[in-house]
């Protein structure tokens, strides 16, 4: 299969290219890092790149929190306009298979249960609570403490920052394209991806990159809040394998299918920082109590659908992955 990989020279995209090549496919890299003209918003460049292509793996995106609106236009341009240009060209050239780099950020907060009211959806956390060190969301009905659980793909979607909003818009565009063309679209909702080749020293990198960059400078990783916020850290090679599995599958035509893509083993941010620091040889992390508006407290998802339907399962465990990442090479900003 000849597969156009947008963002194919980036962190995740480059691993996708390697995974596809290892499985006998022909990946075609489309990335401004290797060719300034390879902008997914450029209609003519995209049309040329799609020639002879059987499928598209769309990894190109502006990533990061996007908590404020200073970068909103750029996020929408790169992520949503770029996706619209790509899908329009695919529709015109008869390319009917798409795998999209989705994100768990479309859920907002994770799944919470109140002892009295059952499953609830807490609203955004208040500044006053965060400033006072009250980080756990409370039941919106009675104010009680909540128990956090796993989010399934059918959960309500609640993007809470600019980046999250653009990732959800990408899914809606892909779903509309699939309905219009009869094509098949898969969105892999990535969790916290980490691993070799992760970008360093950039505001758009993930928390694992921040910690690793600090350690490389001989500085202690700075852990926000109390370090007890839970995430699912999934290795980039496992994410690449999920993309290959999705491209080789036979998903429903005329619709978008979403799959949570995580390790299935939630860990706290503090736990990750300590594991990375220990593997690197220090220094120990510092829990700061600081916070970022737009961050959610807990977001871990159930990835069993991906395992059951596509036969995928993660191969890199948390201890092994952290040991590798502690000494792995990283990319420049």
Task: Specify whether 163 is catalytic.
Answer: yes
Q: Contact, 198 vs 236, CB < 8 A?
A: yes
The helix (H) or strand (E) run that includes residue 82 is helix 82-93
DSSP 3-state assignment of 89?
A: helix
- Look at the block and give the residue holding tokens 């795998």: 99
DSSP state of 145: B
Q: Which two tokens stand for residue 60?
A: 């190109």
How far apart, in whole angstroms, are the C-alpha atoms of residue 298 and residue 306? 21
How far apart, in whole angstroms, are the C-alpha atoms of residue 258 and residue 243? 12
Query: Which of 323, 21, 20 minimizes the C-alpha distance to 195?
Result: 323
How far apart, in whole angstroms, are the C-alpha atoms of residue 145 and residue 137? 7
Question: In a 10 Å sphere around its CB, with 0-12 CB exposed, 13-18 middle and 19+ buried, how is residue 253 labelled?
Answer: middle
Phi, psi for 195 (deg, rounded to 5): 145, -175
Among residues 75, 163, 190, 259, which one is catalytic?
Answer: 163
- Look at the block and give the residue holding tokens 């900003």: 333
Q: What angle do CA 259, 272, 115 make, to 5 degrees?
A: 65
How far apart, in whole angstroms, are the C-alpha atoms of residue 74 and residue 33? 17
CA-to-CA separations, 59 to 99, 127, 240, 264, in angstroms, rounded: 9, 34, 11, 22
Q: What angle do CA 281, 218, 211 make, to 5 degrees?
A: 80
Q: C-alpha 210: how far from its chain's center?
A: 16
| Contacting residues for 166 by C-beta, under 8 A, at least 6 apart | 61, 62, 66, 75, 76, 79, 80
Residues acting as catalytic residues: 163
């Amino acid at each position: 299969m000849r597969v156009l990989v947008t963002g194919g020279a980036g962190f995740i995209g480059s691993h996708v290219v390697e995974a596809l090549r290892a499985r006998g496919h022909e990946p075609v890299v489309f990335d401004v890092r290797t060719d300034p003209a390879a902008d997914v918003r450029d209609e003519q460049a995209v049309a040329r790149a799609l020639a002879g292509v059987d499928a598209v793996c769309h990894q190109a995106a502006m990533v990061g929190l996007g908590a404020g609106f200073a970068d909103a236009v750029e996020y929408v341009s790169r992520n949503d306009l770029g996706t619209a240009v790509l899908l329009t060209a695919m529709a015109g050239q008869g390319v009917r298979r798409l795998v999209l780099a989705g994100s768990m950020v479309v859920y907002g907060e994770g799944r919470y249960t109140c002892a009295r009211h059952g499953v609830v959806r807490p609203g955004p956390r208040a500044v006053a609570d965060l400033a006072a060190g009250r980080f756990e969301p409370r039941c919106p009905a009675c104010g009680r403490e909540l128990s956090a659980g796993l989010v399934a793909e059918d959960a309500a979607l609640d993007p809470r920052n600019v980046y999250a909003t653009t990732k959800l818009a990408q899914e809606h565009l892909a779903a509309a394209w699939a309905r219009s063309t009869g094509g098949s679209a898969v969105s892999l909702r990535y969790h916290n991806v980490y691993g070799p080749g992760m970008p360093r020293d950039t505001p758009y990198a993930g928390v694992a990159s921040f910690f690793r960059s600090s350690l490389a400078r001989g500085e202690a990783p700075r852990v926000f809040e109390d370090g007890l916020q839970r995430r699912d850290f999934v290795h980039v090679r496992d994410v690449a394998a999920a993309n290959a599995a999705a491209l080789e599958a036979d998903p429903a035509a005329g619709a978008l299918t979403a799959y949570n893509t995580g390790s299935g083993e939630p860990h706290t941010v503090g736990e990750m920082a300590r594991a990375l620091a220990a593997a690197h040889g220090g220094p120990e992390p510092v829990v700061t109590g600081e916070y970022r508006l737009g961050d959610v407290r807990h977001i871990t998802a159930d990835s069993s659908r991906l395992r059951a339907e596509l036969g995928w399962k993660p191969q890199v465990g948390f201890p092994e992955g952290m040991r590798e990442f502690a000494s792995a090479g990283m990319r420049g900003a």
